[in-house]
Chains A and B, each alone.
Chain A
């Protein structure tokens, strides 16, 4: 139905020709924009409601009773539903460590939480379909669990900034919101998020539409195809400075995939965008000594590159 509407709008009302570059690009832009904003509004609203049941204080309480391995699995899963913003990363980290959550388990959370975020999820579902969206979530969880276990095994506790262990965390009661308050919170959260990301999405879809209409298909096979062993690490390097801006990058990546960028490279790139970010590194420097910070980013980056190669090889 949406497709028909976009076709009608672009080809009839705007009288652009379907087989022209401009027609193709505009049609792509209109269709994707409507679809993405519709999905964003609905899904973010429901995700916000689910999240209101998992405040970080509760997640902390659950994780502080878990051992390694099972704790890593729980942490990665809870990372999806616990609201997280990099500005809260420090209190969250200290809160976890102080309450006895093992370091490796804490890191599983720190990997999965930004990587599997609602905006990325919506855009993946809307633009790539559920198969790729689920592959992304599944491999994201695996990376979070494994990175956490590895960091746990390496006994890095002494590379946490010393003051972290001295902080006394006060008790705060978890206030139970009424259902009405949850709805209100979800609505505000959705509107606030949309207000923040809509320009990036429009620009992203705009560039995507341009690529879709003007760049010859298979253009990227030569540069980013499975034949080029450097494509995956280069994609990861490009992804790091994009600051978790999934909103702007995912529509572009979707268009690139249509031009021959293979799925492994696509996944690796998106994971680098969401999970590895400079601002987050700067913030985490407050609680981690350099060695642990580098190790953390190194392990996650390696795992992401590994995922890229794996999917390029098997699909």
Chain B
């Protein structure tokens, strides 16, 4: 589905637990989302579906199409650079809605594409969140983030998203 829709409509992150791809950050994410079984998938921070495989395609598609009809209240523009083994992200978040947005956080998650069918979006690092206490209508805020993660740099990507305090993801974007 990700290749069908493209990164302009659907982004995917794979958080591993209990296997060789798991990291302390992904294990913490499992607890944060209160995941009870694998696989479990969340769309925009909610709409969870437990279970995976091609048999769930229709269910996934319904959720994704529903989410795509919603208006996003923020836009994200980011640039990722690598210098001396440090990965840096410069991110601009703009409130494109007509009202203020409060108490949200900007998240940046790095993933690697290992090339195999089930390992295209394996999360490798989760950067500390950047809290946005308030973002008035039309306001833009800029953030500089960095990670010293060193692995498969040629296939490393960054997904940026703005998430509300309730867990809802308002918008996401990819830097590659």
* Co-assembled chains A and B: no
